[in-house]
Chains A and B, each alone.
Chain A
């Protein structure tokens, strides 16, 4: 008698609004207690498969559905979404849009409250979940003040309290920093030890190396490869790259040589004694920062949450006013009001950076009238977006949106560009694409700062590392084959700075 947790028979699904089917005659059996990684390039059907397993397809998303989904011994064809929720627990990509209540305790209890359990049982389960996820210090915090990593732990706790045996995770590491990913790894280990069945739909592979039992690779809606643990670990990096997957072993990676040579290295930006705090005599978030950078540099800015990375970027771009100190660009002092434009900030969430009703009009947003038509075609062709020029920015894929925001930065002719986590949630191909674009920017004489925790990206694009701690620059060094281990170590020290 097989111990099967999830069984899919001849599963096909075609979204109503798309032209191609997302899944084609999929057959799959997943054993109880195993940790299975389901991966593939963007658009392979991972998210659709996730939705089929928890019932969102077809109950939430419309389209043509055929085939069987069995959870344990039960056929789910007559299930409602709530019935699915009694057998499977799902954790979504973006922790910020999942929470329903406004405080941690009630959010964790949410699932139990809906099942109409007794109050005593609910508090018992909540306490157990809190201690399992080790988040007792979060209980007094408002849910709006939590970081992505903390929110995700709360989401896990909420699922754990429901005591389901099957966990479905959709790109759980997408919005997490390095330290939080290591904590996620620990949570998964604990859940696996309890015998839970864990199915993870992911791009990032390195943190699952010691945990996975099986790896399934999807391509265009069908299963291309199905490896067991041994076969998975025997794949070398070249084979992984060919499959479009990220690396398993971060330690084995090497810094990539820059693709383009930079001829001039004129000093570009200089920060002198910059300090910042929100209130007049409040805690300083940025403390007496001094550094300089030249044209053609690509600098990775790393550090814990709350170390001051984003604040520093915002000060340079003129979005925040420093309490003391000066910023020099090309030798001249630049007051706050003159910085937007000279410096550009590409934020993590591209939803708040795109305003036009077409890709081409996006480039025109905010431009003076006489500048409008210039350079648009050239820029869009450079970023492979010319054929999408009439499409609405909101209909683009994540990678395309990212490229469009970079194109806008170029249109603004900014000299210094800051990026905030440009590769979160991107697969290898798109991550390397962003790395290439950033290197091109540097080759054109720009100075690029990237706030990131994506180690693979740092190796592919950055040459200098700036490590911030407690509002100060703690380390500033070049990335070489020797110093790369230091980068990995500093990333792992992440977590949240105390307020």
Chain B
């Protein structure tokens, strides 16, 4: 995430929440499918082709399976499968919207949004730091895996089931150990450069809702409203 802002982060957050709340109610086949298509469309407009096609693909496969599910004779098994498919399909749509969010905005603008809505330090700071930290943890995991390989300790998904505590010792403890030290250094460096409260910082990326933001917000609201109507009309 660098420094882009296709949409005001507040509108982006609104859209994600709107779609999310809506997704929970789209239970008829037709509304659920339209919903998925809309989510994919949003992703395509921000040029996230790979994610949208993969998600659509998985959703489509499950939909096909569901169309033939009544052929399973064991009612319980069939219903279990249906429920599971339901969860997965919903998650895919929600995941697509989450991905949309990361494509339309970036951390500096999210920070600005938090300053604008006067989010408390207690939430804004941990959130900022957590976002900055993910890539670092990713790198650390990679080094850790290499190290463990050299010690003939393989990390396989099965290991988590057979030796969960050992996995915690080999993977999580080293990362936590290093993070303890890093948290001290990072805090020291930040505080020595005057960091104390987010609201005392200069607003570097002023946010102003543009016509584009209002437009997308209104259109999204109308789409979801239309789908609600479709879902609940008798």
A48 within 8 A of B: no
**B174 touching A355, Cβ below 8 Å:** yes
Residues of B contacting A85 with CB < 8 Å?
191-194
Among B139, B173, B193, the residue within 8 A (CB) of A114 is B193
B161 within 8 A of A: no
Q: In the complex, how many angstroms separate the beta carbon of A90 from the nearest chain B beta carbon?
A: 5
CA distance A96 to B152 in the complex (A): 29
**A354 touching B150, Cβ below 8 Å:** no
**A112 touching B202, Cβ below 8 Å:** yes
CA distance A354 to B1 in the complex (A): 33
Among B144, B151, B177, B194, the residue within 8 A (CB) of A365 is B151
Residues of A contacting B178 with CB < 8 Å?
351-352
Convert B124-159 into 0s and 1s, putting 1 for each residue whose CB lies closer than 8 angstroms to a CB of A.
Answer: 000001011001100110011011111111000000
Convert A332-351 into 0s and 1s, putting 1 for each residue whose CB lies closer than 8 angstroms to a CB of B.
Answer: 00000000110011010101
**A318 touching B147, Cβ below 8 Å:** no
B214 within 8 A of A: no
A261 within 8 A of B: no
**B189 touching A394, Cβ below 8 Å:** no
**B2 touching A394, Cβ below 8 Å:** no
B107 within 8 A of A: yes
Q: Which of B195-234 contact A (CB under 8 A)?
A: 195-196, 200-204
A314 within 8 A of B: yes
Taking A100-B132, A314-B146 as contacts, is the C-beta distance between A119 and B188 under 8 angstroms?
Answer: no
**B185 touching A366, Cβ below 8 Å:** no
**B185 touching A98, Cβ below 8 Å:** yes
CA distance A139 to B178 in the complex (A): 28
Q: Which residue of B lies closest to A118 (CB)?
A: B202
Residues of A contacting B136 with CB < 8 Å?
96, 144
CA distance A86 to B152 in the complex (A): 51
**A394 touching B177, Cβ below 8 Å:** yes
Among A82, A88, A116, the residue within 8 A (CB) of B202 is A116
Among B147, B148, B187, B196, the residue within 8 A (CB) of A82 is B196
Taking A349-B143, A352-B178 as contacts, is the C-beta distance between A82 and B190 under 8 angstroms?
Answer: no
Known contacts A98-B189, A355-B170, A394-B177, then 9 further A-B pairs from the complex at CB < 8 Å, ordered by chain A residue: A60-B184, A90-B188, A101-B107, A102-B1, A106-B108, A344-B150, A352-B174, A365-B153, A366-B151
15 A/B residue pairs, CB under 8 Å, sorted by A: A85-B191, A89-B192, A96-B136, A100-B193, A102-B107, A102-B135, A111-B193, A115-B194, A119-B202, A158-B193, A344-B150, A347-B147, A352-B143, A355-B148, A355-B174
Partner-A contacts on B (CB < 8 A): 1-3, 107-108, 129, 131-132, 135-136, 139-140, 143-144, 146-153, 169-170, 173-174, 177-178, 181-182, 184-196, 200-204
